[in-house]
């Protein structure tokens, strides 16, 4: 079976014709992130689905093509409109790509050897996923045949963005690229039907903006970088400074359902955690006061007894 560049492969189709797809001789598999992890090795459920499919695919490559096994690049530093997961042992943010890589390397059925694993830790949305993948990895490593992996609700905007970023020359008038991109659409799991529809609607608007506006206006990597550093909410210095100072003017606000689909905790969860934290903080304070009081009582009893013994000794 011939697979053409730009094809969107459905998950079920992949496993029905695994031998055909393993014969693609890919250079790299790109696993998109897309939400706040729940632990250092637990990305959101729908991202786990992407990883599960990639783990099985990598196992098939290793069984059939030991001479041609692709690298796996996990994408995304974080989701910029949501707080990042902070690792408890060092207080540092956990990159979404790190959680995906940890899940793949410790996969319960098909662990991926670490020698095939890479992480991209600069991007905060799908446009920057594509830009930094190309500028930091594929252009440099010579990876040209790529499989881009996401879920069904996200795959069409992903394709529009990656087709755009990977087709433009590096500079105006520069040589054309020779990338071959294939897309893998994983089943939607871990989200309610309402959340999936919210995501589809959001992604469709983004896809239309890419195809009808951005791809026509920014036609080389230099101009894409200019767009990102002057107009992009997550990379333009003036926008980032205003956000850091709490100036919400012009800030895009997503609906609660959409934010929950990216891994944001509900207000009830946040309130419960806050109450628990305050309770525990209060217990700690009370415990410290109690400890100090006990120490003073013990010291008072000790010195009172010493004085009593000395009095009896000389009386």
pTM exceeds 0.85, yes or no: no
Q: Does residue 292 surpass a pLDDT of 50?
A: yes
Q: What pLDDT, on the 0 to 100 scale, is given for residue 274? A: 41
**Tokens found for residue 242:** 């205003």
Q: What pLDDT, on the 0 to 100 scale, is given for residue 210? A: 98
Nearest of 6, 11, 142 to residue 71 by alpha carbon: 142
- Residue reference for tokens 């659409």: 185
Q: Please compute Rg for the chain using Cα positions.
A: 27
User: In the structure, what pLDDT confidence band is assigned to residue 1 with cuts at 50, 70 and 90?
Assistant: confident
Who wins on pLDDT, 262 or 138?
Answer: 138
Task: Quote the CA–CA distance of 166 and 176 in Å, as a whole number.
Answer: 10
Q: What pLDDT, on the 0 to 100 scale, is given for residue 248? A: 59
107-131 pLDDT tens trace: 999 999 999 999 999 999 999 999 9
Q: What pLDDT, on the 0 to 100 scale, is given for residue 4? A: 87
Who wins on pLDDT, 87 or 268?
Answer: 87
38: Cβ contacts below 8 Å, ≥ 6 apart: 44, 85, 263
User: In the structure, what pLDDT confidence band is assigned to residue 250 with cuts at 50, 70 and 90?
Assistant: very low
The DSSP annotation for the chain comes to: ----TT-EEEHHHHHHTHHHHHTT--SEEEE---S--SBTTB--HHHHHHHHHHHHHHHHHHHH-TT---EEEE--S--TTSPPPB-TTT-PBPPHHHHHHHHHHT-SSSPPPGGGEEE--S-SSHHHHHHHHIIIIIHHHT--EEEEEEEHHHHHHHHHHHHHHTTS-SSTTPPPP--EEEEEEEPP-SS-HHHHHHHHHHHHHHHHHIIIIIHHH--SHHHHHHHHHHH-TTT-HHHHHHHHTT--TT-----HHHHHHTTPPPHHHHHHHHHHHHHHHHHHHHHHHHHHHHHHHHHHHHHHHHHHHHHHHH-
With contact defined as beta carbons under 8 Å apart, do 130 and 165 qualify?
yes
**Tokens found for residue 233:** 């909410």
Mean pLDDT of the region 92-111? 97
Geometric angle at alpha carbon 104, from 79 and 76, rounded to 5°: 20
Q: What pLDDT, on the 0 to 100 scale, is given for residue 277? A: 41
137-150 pLDDT tens trace: 999 999 999 999 99
179-235 pLDDT tens trace: 999 999 999 999 999 999 999 999 999 999 999 999 999 999 999 999 999 999 999
């Amino acid at each position: 079976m011939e697979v053409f560049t730009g094809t969107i492969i459905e998950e079920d189709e992949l496993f029905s014709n695994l031998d055909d797809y393993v014969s693609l001789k890919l250079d790299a598999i790109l696993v998109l992130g897309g939400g706040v992890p729940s632990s250092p090795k637990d990305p959101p459920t729908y991202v786990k689905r992407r990883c599960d499919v990639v783990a099985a695919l990598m196992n098939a490559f290793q069984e059939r093509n030991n001479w041609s096994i692709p690298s796996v690049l996990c994408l995304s530093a974080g989701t910029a409109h949501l707080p990042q997961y902070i690792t408890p042992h060092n207080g540092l943010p956990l990159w979404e790509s790190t959680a995906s890589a940890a899940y793949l390397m410790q996969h319960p059925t098909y662990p991926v050897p670490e020698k095939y694993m890479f992480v991209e830790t600069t991007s905060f949305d799908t446009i920057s996923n594509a830009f930094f993948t190309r500028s930091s990895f594929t252009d440099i490593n010579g990876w040209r045949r790529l499989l881009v992996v996401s879920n069904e609700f996200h795959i069409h905007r992903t394709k529009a963005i990656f087709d755009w970023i990977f087709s433009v020359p590096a500079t105006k008038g520069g040589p054309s690229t020779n990338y071959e991109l294939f897309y893998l659409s994983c089943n939607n799991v871990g989200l309610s039907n309402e959340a999936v529809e919210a995501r589809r609607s959001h992604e469709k608007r983004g896809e239309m903006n890419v195809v009808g506006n951005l791809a026509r206006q920014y036609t080389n990597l230099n101009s894409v970088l200019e767009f990102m550093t002057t107009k992009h909410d997550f990379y333009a210095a003036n926008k980032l400074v205003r956000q850091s100072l709490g100036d919400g003017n012009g800030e895009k606000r997503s609906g609660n359902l959409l934010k929950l689909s990216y891994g944001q905790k509900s207000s009830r969860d946040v309130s419960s955690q806050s109450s628990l934290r305050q309770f525990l903080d209060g217990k700690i304070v009370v415990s410290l006061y109690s400890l100090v009081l006990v120490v003073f009582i013990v010291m008072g009893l000790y010195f009172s007894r010493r004085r009593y013994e000395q009095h009896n000794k000389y009386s």
